[in-house]
């Protein structure tokens, strides 16, 4: 068997947790359909937004 891929299904909540923790990155997988791709993009964008928001809060608190 030459195929080194594992085809799985994962809930958006679990995927979001993996993204936010830095355990999984966009280069680690590919989406097999357009709806999955849209969901994954939203999860990554939300994660970036949270990261930027937390960095801003940290910078605000470090000046106090």
d(CA 23, CA 10): 14
For 25-36, how does the pLDDT look when each residue is reduced to its tens digit (9 = 90+)?
999 999 999 999
pLDDT tens for 52-63 read 776 666 565 665
pLDDT at residue 22 in the model: 92
Given a contact cutoff of 8 angstroms between Cβ atoms, the answer to whether 54 and 29 are in contact is no
29 assigned to some structural domain: yes
Residues 6+ apart with CB under 8 A from 61: none
Q: Which domain holds residue 35?
A: 12-62
- Number of domains comprising the chain: 1
The answer as to whether 2 is a domain residue is: no
Please say whether the beta carbons of 43 and 11 come within 8 A: no
């Amino acid at each position: 068997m030459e195929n080194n891929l594992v085809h799985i299904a994962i809930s958006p909540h679990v995927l979001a947790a993996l993204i936010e923790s830095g355990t999984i990155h966009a280069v680690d997988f590919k989406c097999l359909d357009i709806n999955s791709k849209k969901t994954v993009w939203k999860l990554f964008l939300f994660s970036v937004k949270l990261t930027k928001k937390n960095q801003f809060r940290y910078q605000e608190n470090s000046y106090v």
